Amino acid sequence: MLIQRLAIIGIGLIGGSLARALKRAGACAEVVGCGRNTRNLQQAIDLGVIDCYETNPASAVKNADMVVVAVPLGTMAKTFATIHDALSPQAIITDVGSAKATVVSDAQQYLGQHFSRFVPAHPIAGTEKSGVAASFAELFEKHRVILTPLPETESQAVDIVSTMWQKTGAEVVKMSVENHDEVLAATSHLPHLLAYNLVDTLAKMDNQTEIFKFAAGGFRDFSRIASSDPQMWHDICFANKDAILSVLEYFNIHLTQLTKAIQQGDSQHIKNIFTHAKTVRDKVCG
């Protein structure tokens, strides 16, 4: 068996789906869930997602050979500090955070001698829903999971974390911390910021009731991710601040160009933008 005792700190969509997928694959013998909300944890037991739970992270990681930290980025440091003294010498620690530089920094500061067995990870999968009730075993199938190991990360720990994610049906890739944060700022963080800002902007307009009354499929498709967890995305804004600001600046340059094209009646420029965007989107998304 790949994992004897799996401790997941944060039983929500991602943590719950990971537990479901690994149980389905027969890859772990026991799953211990950890969180602050006992009602959510009991629901996770009732749903068969976890086998038992603890509200204290230090208690949850005791005797665990795999620890997955699936908490908001703003609480990573506190979590690492809390579990440090309770970790078994052989325990492998990983996370699911959407920004890696701050997570790695927190791990370096608080995991101490366990840092060499910490494997930073980010599953590129999810939905706009949150909570353990929204979790499902198939979430990671045919999705990528990015690992960003450091030079000091033990190769055995990387191999085991990689195998764990492959058991869920995911494709595992590796890249540097810096490259990850730049790529995700453009492909994930920027779209979420735009969706949140669009909905907030429209909601503040004088005729918002009429606007939303006639919102159709295009609005629903584009704004879907604005239903994601606000706290999680708040934390991401600060955790990946520099990369996000850089891609926002680049986006604003192109938005200004489009605005000017509309103002000046530059039909060809507008058509070129739309045609190029459609070609790229069709190629990338199939």
**DSSP per-residue string spanning 198-237:** HHHHHHTSTTHHHHHHT--HHHHHHHGGGGS-HHHHHHHH
Per-residue model confidence (pLDDT) at position 56: 97
Please compute the mean of the pLDDT values over residues 44-56 and round it to a whole number. Answer: 97
The pLDDT value recorded for residue 1 is 87
Picking from 158, 175, 192, the residue at the C-terminal end of a domain is 175
Q: What is the pLDDT of residues 121-147, one digit of tens each?
A: 999 998 888 899 999 999 999 999 999
CATH number, domain of 220, equals 1.10.3660.10
DSSP helix/strand/coil, 123: strand
pLDDT number for residue 167 = 98
Residues 166 and 185 in one domain: no
CA geometry: angle 154, 100, 62, nearest 5 deg: 55
pLDDT of res. 84: 97
Report residue 117's pLDDT band, with 50, 70 and 90 as the boundaries: very high
Angle (CA) 32 181 17, round 5°: 25
**In this structure, are 40 and 60 located in the same domain?**
yes
Q: What is the pLDDT of residue 206?
A: 83
Residues 7 and 71 in one domain: yes
pTM, entire model: 0.91
> Which of 125, 144, 175 is the last residue in one of the domains?
175
DSSP bridge partners of 171: 144
pLDDT in tens, 207-256: 888 888 888 888 999 999 999 999 999 999 999 999 999 999 999 999 99
Q: Where are the alpha helices (DSSP H) in the chain?
A: 13-24, 38-46, 57-60, 76-83, 101-110, 155-167, 177-184, 190-203, 208-213, 217-223, 230-239, 241-263, 267-285
Residue where a domain stops, chosen among 175, 192, 224? 175
17 and 105 in a single domain? The answer is yes
For residues 164 and 57, state if they share a domain. Answer: yes
Over the range 23-32, which residues count as b (16 or more CB within 10 Å of their CB) and which as e? beeebbebbb
The least confident of 40-44, 169-173, 211-215 is: 211-215
CA 237, 7, 89, 82 torsion-angle sign: positive
Query: Do 167 and 31 reside in the same domain of the chain?
Result: yes
- Which structural domain, as residue segments, surrounds residue 195? 179-285
Q: Which helix (H) or strand (E) element contains residue 25? A: none
Look at residue 127 in the predicted model and tell me its pLDDT. 84
What is the SS3 assignment for 31? strand
Mean of the per-residue pLDDT values of the chain: 96
Claim to verify: residue 25 and residue 128 sit in the same structural domain? yes
* 178-184 average pLDDT score: 98
The pLDDT score that the predictor gives to residue 246 is 97
Q: How many domains does the chain have?
A: 2
Q: Choose the weakest-confidence range: 105-109, 122-126, 188-192, 216-220.
A: 216-220
Asked if residue 125 lies in contact with residue 139, where contact means CB atoms within 8 angstroms, the answer is: yes
If asked whether residues 28 and 138 sit together in one domain, one would say: yes
Find out whether 147 and 172 touch, Cβ atoms under 8 Å: yes
Residues 136 and 207 in one domain: no
CA–CA distance, 260 with 266 (Å, rounded to integer): 8
The domain that holds 99 is classified in CATH as 3.40.50.720
Neighbouring residues of 253: CB distance < 8 A, sequence distance ≥ 6: none
* Backbone region of residue 63 per phi and psi (left: phi > 0; alpha: psi in -120 to 50; beta: other values): left
Identify whether residues 168 and 184 lie together within a single domain: no
pLDDT of 172 > 80? The answer is yes
User: Residue 169 above 80 pLDDT?
Assistant: yes
The average pLDDT across 27-36 equals 97
pLDDT over 90 (residue 58): yes
The two tokens of residue 184 are 């995700």
Residues 114 and 27 in one domain: yes
> 76 with 186, same domain?
no
Q: What is the pLDDT of residue 177?
A: 98
